[in-house]
A and B are shown apart, each in its own frame.
Chain A
Amino acid sequence: MTGVRTFRAMGCEIAVAGADERALAAIRRLFEEREATFSRFRPDSELRRVNASPQALVSVSAELARALRVALDAFRSSGGLVSPTVGAAVEAAGYDRDFSQLAPDDPRPVLPLPSVDPAQILVGERILRRPPGLVLDLNGVVKAIAVDDATRFLPGPGYVSAGGDLAARGTPVAVTLPDGDRVALESGAVATSGTATRSWPRAGALRHHLIDPRTGLPAASPWTTVTAIGRTCVAADVAAKAGFLHGHDGPEWLDEQGVAARFVSADGVVVQNGCWNRSLERRAA
């Protein structure tokens, strides 16, 4: 297997192992295309065009329609907590430009902005109906979709990782967790979500991008990071976000879904749910 190659896209480092030159070029192009389509900050992105349209019915690319279907599935499978309709709330919390360009502090208060019910969204092959003014945010799934898609370019065993959301193909991967512990990902994907990286000061408090659609505010969760395992990177990433947003109930809720997950609290306490522990014990036996 060839070594690890890296490049930057979607505001994070993309790491690829097991790619030849042709595969690496294709993967790089895939991430660039997805960023051009789904960026909330690039003025020429398709998502910006859709969000700015005053029409209820808008024409969209097949790629955007597909990502929105994934996001609506995520809403359903997360118990209604991972929502694509929280874009306005993310902006209201202060995340209204590229993360590297956020102001050091902004004294304006963060006001709750309840999200639109995703049941009001209808999406076809290339057409979308939604309430005009709705600010869609597909960042909750777009990066993970890109990781899953990119692994299909690998000619053999390897992995693709975007900012730590990782999908492996044909080989186990030793994955270092945010607190330094390690685990062997034997199949599927791993994703970590939380506030450790993307948080910013606003009105005297740290804010983050994981919005609770029930309140329209950055979620008050006891966890700093949640790492989850999934069949795909999308499944792992949605599970990690859901685990975070379910708060204290996160470990048990993910157990009920059959998801192995590991939670780290702000004071450094590590909680591994039953599925995580059983998976490790079974392999060790």
Chain B
Amino acid sequence: MSTNGESRIGAARERAATAKMFLAGGAVGIFGVVLALARTSHHASAQSSTRTGSSSSTPAVVQQESGDLGGGSIGPVQPGFAGPSAGTATS
């Protein structure tokens, strides 16, 4: 076989290898998307919540999902109340 013939075969093999890598990469990419959704997917019918992440501007947020409602506590404002005051307006 001539040198030119060998180089053409070599180039063809290289293109085939590149195409295989590309296809594999694409498959991995699609698989990655599916995996990302499957791992962390969260929709309204879910009974348990995925608790994740924080933003770059937020220090150490543990979780923010509303979860069950309730919690917090109130009492009457006693005479001599020394704490700060604020208002709650409609939002």
Contacts and interface: CB of A to CB of B under 8 A. Distances in A.
Interface in B55-91: 55, 57-61, 64-78, 81, 83-91
A197 B90 contact: yes
Contact of B73 (A63, A69, A174, A279): A279
A73 B57 contact: no
Contacts of A163: 89, 91
Nearest to B41: A122
Contact of B88 (A72, A177, A258): A177
B2 interface: no
Overall SS of chain A's interface: mixed
Interface residues of A, number: 103
Interface stretch (A47-55, A88-96, A102-110, A148-156): A148-156
Interface of B: 33, 36-37, 39-46, 49-50, 52-53, 55, 57-61, 64-78, 81, 83-91
Interface of A: 1, 4, 12, 15, 17-18, 26, 29-30, 33, 57, 62-63, 65-66, 69-70, 72-78, 80, 117-127, 129, 141, 143, 145, 148-149, 152-153, 158-159, 161-166, 171-178, 182-198, 224-225, 227-232, 234-239, 242, 254, 257-260, 276, 279-280, 282-284
29 contacts: A15-B86, A29-B57, A30-B57, A69-B50, A72-B42, A72-B44, A74-B66, A75-B44, A121-B44, A122-B41, A124-B36, A153-B59, A159-B84, A161-B86, A164-B89, A174-B83, A175-B86, A175-B87, A176-B85, A185-B73, A192-B90, A194-B90, A196-B89, A196-B90, A230-B69, A235-B68, A235-B71, A239-B70, A259-B70
